[in-house]
Amino acid sequence: MNSAAITSLLAKHPALKASKAKLEAMEPGNYVVHRSWGFGQIKDYDESDQKLVINFKDKKSHHMDPVFCVSSMEVLPAKHILARKETEPAKIKALLEDDPVQLVIDTLSAYPNKAASAIELEHVLNQVVGEEKFKRWFSGVKKQLIKDPRVGVPAKKTDCYIVRDEPISAENEILEAFGSTRSARRRITLAEDLLAASIKEESKASLQLVLSGITEAVRDSNQLDASERLYGAFVRDELARILGHGTTSYNPPQSELIKEIRGLNAIAEKIPVHFQSRFLDLVKETHPLEWREIVFSLLKTSQGKFTTECINFLIEHGQTDELAQALKRWKTEQNLRAPVLHWVIKNRHSKKFAKLLTELITPRLLGAIFFAIDYEALQSAGTRRIPLAEALSDDTDLISDLLAAADTETARDLANSLLLNQGFEELTKKSLLARFIKLFPSLQSLVSGESEVKDEQLLVSRDSYERRRIEYEEIVSKRIPDNSKAIAAAREHGDLRENSEFKMAKQDQSVLMSQKAQLERDLARARISDFAEATTDQVSAGTIVDLRDVTSGKAVRYTVLGAWDSDPENHVIAYKTPLGQVILGKKIGEHVKLKIGTSHHEYQVAGISRYADHKK
């Protein structure tokens, strides 16, 4: 915008006088960040409609009123890192790859006082690095920033990164922060940062104060839980080692903090990732007789990277065969938890773990996966993501790998488990079911809800229809709600995998849902009849048939009724039963061979009458 345009705009909107400098910065060529549109560049000012012409990533030549841009858009200075990414792409790329700390310093230098909040800095750098790579990239850079005397690194997201006027060594900064806090957790974190820094010889004298502070925190603080106290003891002993002290005189020793086997699972859930390997070594040292059972127990309830650590630890200590047997046993008992299952499916093609995993890749494992996903869905509140469910959806070969040795009935059972699973959205279920159908085309009926058999109508009596309808209402209105309450009660017990109530309730749920679905299909196919249309020309539903044994001459009478009317004790048979199908369509005088019990008999149709006539 030129000065004349700005003067005209201020005359119309006097309130903008305080923003005159910002309006003057809205010149063609300058880069901007809009609250809604994101990063862009001013290309021109259209004097005819008094609007800026801005190119955004997804909207070229976008016309915007400067009045609104004052409050919704930031004009970037030429030295801003996002502007430099456009004007100096090669230099920014070189900094990104070779000197990321300088890139951060350059980014901060564009801000007033060379400082920006952690949130603001990460937001800008995310755009420079790229969203997919940023998290890992910044995690590494942050470790370098902690050691760099030119940059002050905040302890909280709400605090600021700052480029210092005078460099301060990382050790001095940490020591200063350590002395100014009495928080046991904060002191452990600072001591950990000190271990990560390059400790100079002249700084070691000051480390004695840190060691004393950490020793006191681990021994006396009531702020720390068991995992924090153990890790604090580890940091304490590392500092003592650097200072050339022995660790046996410090209380409590690490071994003392893990002597109670019962609490080790809770400790393992919270220890830092980089301490996990040392933790397992410590367990083995402290419990030389029971360590195998302990590590297997830790693996069973492990999560994230600790799962991999436990598996590698067991393999490195000669427990490969025992591990394979344990995994197979847990699969059979439905005690394989989601993190372990996730590890199995991720590593199933790995040469390193081939011997361990070959026998696990079976249809039963898919059942265990569905069980674990359903369990996690019941445990989680709201719509929390389920990584194992996402892995099953994303890995397009997994279902085919697991069903390679399955027969059709096994595949159908698993597909039904999928349809009943509470851990998938309906669209995802359909997508996964398509993978089943690709391997077993006969399962297409699960998608359409119909099969060739289901298309056929069922002839039923009114009484039998009412019995089925009442059964359906009982399942829907009472038994399923009662089952849901039973599952909810099982949830309150904590670890649902370890109690039979949950497993029984889930089995009951599967049966009830199958019964409900079958009844819905049957009731939809049913055609109620009073059998008044039956004739005496041949045996059909609604006829009474008199049969005479060809050998003995003994007579027997059967009433053939609807599909749900079987009452063998009273010689009432449903036309859909095997016996009904044999005599259906027979005429007077024709012979029929029947198997009654274990005996074979040949009968002649002696008479046919209408059920409706007898009923009157």
State the number of CA atoms in the 13 A half-sphere of 25 facing the CB.
Answer: 16
Residue 543 has pLDDT above 80, yes or no: yes
Same domain, residue pair 375 and 387 = yes
User: 565 lies in which domain range?
Assistant: 543-615
> At which residue do the structure tokens 């004052």 appear?
70
Question: What pLDDT digit, counting tens, does each position of 185-233 carry?
Answer: 988 888 888 777 655 565 666 788 888 899 999 999 998 999 999 999 9
Residue 98 counted as domain residue:
yes
Question: Which two three-digit tokens encode residue 77?
Answer: 């200075």
Residue 157 counted as domain residue:
yes
| Spatial contact of 603 and 539, defined as CB atoms under 8 Å apart | no
Domain boundary among 226, 257, 288: 257
What's the rounded mean pLDDT across residues 47-74?
A: 87
Same domain, residue pair 396 and 365 = yes
Residue 280 counted as domain residue:
no
Return the pLDDT at 496.
47
Alpha helices in 130-179 (DSSP H): 131-147, 170-179
Return the pLDDT at 86.
93
Same domain, residue pair 38 and 68 = yes
* Range scoring the smallest mean pLDDT among 10-14, 136-140, 167-171, 327-331: 167-171
CA–CA gap between residue 35 and residue 51 (Å, rounded): 18
Return the pLDDT at 202.
57
Confidence tier at 419 by pLDDT (50, 70, 90): confident
CA–CA gap between residue 571 and residue 556 (Å, rounded): 9
Domain boundary among 411, 443, 475: 443
* pTM of model > 0.75: no
Residue 334 counted as domain residue:
no
Return the pLDDT at 500.
62
Question: What pLDDT digit, counting tens, does each position of 297-326 carry?
Answer: 999 999 889 999 999 999 999 999 999 999
The CATH number given to whatever domain includes residue 106 is 1.10.10
What's the rounded mean pLDDT across residues 545-560?
A: 89
Return the pLDDT at 594.
72
CA–CA gap between residue 119 and residue 156 (Å, rounded): 10
The CATH number given to whatever domain includes residue 609 is 3.10.50.30
Calculate the average pLDDT of the chain: 85
Question: Which two three-digit tokens encode residue 446?
Answer: 């699960």
Q: Which residue has the higher pLDDT, 488 or 151?
A: 151
Return the pLDDT at 79.
93
Domain count, the chain: 6
Same domain, residue pair 162 and 175 = no
Same domain, residue pair 417 and 493 = no
Residue 14 counted as domain residue:
yes
What's the rounded mean pLDDT across residues 504-516?
A: 77
Return the pLDDT at 215.
92
Residue 496 counted as domain residue:
yes
Beta bridge partners of 549: 603
Question: What pLDDT digit, counting tens, does each position of 245-263 carry?
Answer: 876 778 899 999 999 998 9
Same domain, residue pair 355 and 427 = yes
State the number of CA atoms in the 13 A half-sphere of 49 facing the CB.
Answer: 8
Residue 196 counted as domain residue:
yes
Beta bridge partners of 603: 549, 592
Same domain, residue pair 21 and 67 = yes
Residue 382 has pLDDT above 80, yes or no: no
Question: What pLDDT digit, counting tens, does each position of 123-162 carry?
Answer: 999 999 988 889 889 989 988 888 788 888 887 777 889 9
Residue 313 counted as domain residue:
no
Domain boundary among 482, 500, 528: 528
Same domain, residue pair 101 and 163 = yes
Same domain, residue pair 56 and 109 = no
What's the rounded mean pLDDT across residues 546-560?
A: 89
Question: What pLDDT digit, counting tens, does each position of 94-131 carry?
Answer: 999 999 999 999 999 988 889 999 889 999 999 999 88
The CATH number given to whatever domain includes residue 18 is 2.30.30.140
How many other β-carbons are positioned within 10 Å of the β-carbon of residue 66? 21
Same domain, residue pair 114 and 136 = yes
| Spatial contact of 540 and 560, defined as CB atoms under 8 Å apart | yes
Same domain, residue pair 193 and 132 = no
Confidence tier at 378 by pLDDT (50, 70, 90): low
Same domain, residue pair 547 and 598 = yes
Pairing of strands 526-528, 458-460: parallel
How many other β-carbons are positioned within 10 Å of the β-carbon of residue 258? 22
Percent of residues, the chain, with pLDDT higher than 70? 92
Left, alpha or beta for 244 (phi > 0: left; psi -120 to 50: alpha)? left
Q: Which residues of 578-602 are buried (b: 16+ CB within 10 A; e: fewer)?
A: ebbebbbebeeeeebebeeeeeebe
Return the pLDDT at 598.
59
Return the pLDDT at 522.
83
Return the pLDDT at 447.
67
